[in-house]
Amino acid sequence: MHYLLLLCCLLNLPASTQVAKPRILRLSNAVLFEKLMTGLDPQQLMRIYRPNLKLLKVQCNRHEPAVKDSLLQVKTAADNITLFKNRYNALLRGATITSTKVSFDGMRIGIAQETFCRILHLKPTYDQYVCTDGMENFVQLTFTFVRGKLQVVKYEELINMDTID
């Protein structure tokens, strides 16, 4: 009898120790996406992180060989950002933000989930809010909350931008 009880306990143990999957709300809204991207302007990021900018790679532009394209990276203890730059333009290629240096429509890391949701008219019952850029869905922003506070914002490309002409 004791062995049967022990066996039942051992079989139920893995089920009780499983980590709950994060509840994710996916939004495809170009207006909301642009609103949240205001703090992630590449020129502004280059000013904020100027002391931490490192050159990763320089290459000739494939359409205009006289123009040099640069890939820049910022790696701090809290943030990791990749930027593309040439003399005409600067583009954000990827970012993971955990510091309060960058704002997203006036909101920063550490904001209460309830406040975030009230400002954006969302339900506060999710752990992650994933917002894509609208119909194209080329890039997305992911806002991750832990214990009711915004912990991480991630910007990532959903397709390889190097393959687009």
Would residue 149 count as lying in a domain?
Answer: yes
Query: Structural domain of residue 68, as residue ranges?
Result: 21-160
Would residue 8 count as lying in a domain?
Answer: no
Would residue 67 count as lying in a domain?
Answer: yes
Pairing relationship of beta strands 128-132 and 68-75 according to DSSP bridges: unpaired
Q: Does residue 165 surpass a pLDDT of 90?
A: no
Residue 56 has what pLDDT? 87
Would residue 9 count as lying in a domain?
Answer: no
Nearest to 153 by CA among 56, 37, 23: 37
Residue 108 structure tokens: 């920063």
**Number of domains observed in the structure of the chain:** 1
Torsion angle (degrees, nearest 10) of CA 117, 155, 96, 73: -150
Other C-beta atoms closer than 10 Å to the C-beta of 40 total: 18
Range among 70-74, 87-91, 143-147, 158-162 rated most confident: 143-147
Would residue 1 count as lying in a domain?
Answer: no
Summarize the confidence of residues 126-144 as an average pLDDT.
Answer: 89
Would residue 11 count as lying in a domain?
Answer: no
Would residue 101 count as lying in a domain?
Answer: yes
Residue 137 has what pLDDT? 75
Mean residue pLDDT of the chain comes to: 85
Confidence of residue 92 (pLDDT cuts 50, 70, 90): very high
Contact status, residue 120 vs residue 33, Cβ threshold 8 Å: no
Would residue 5 count as lying in a domain?
Answer: no
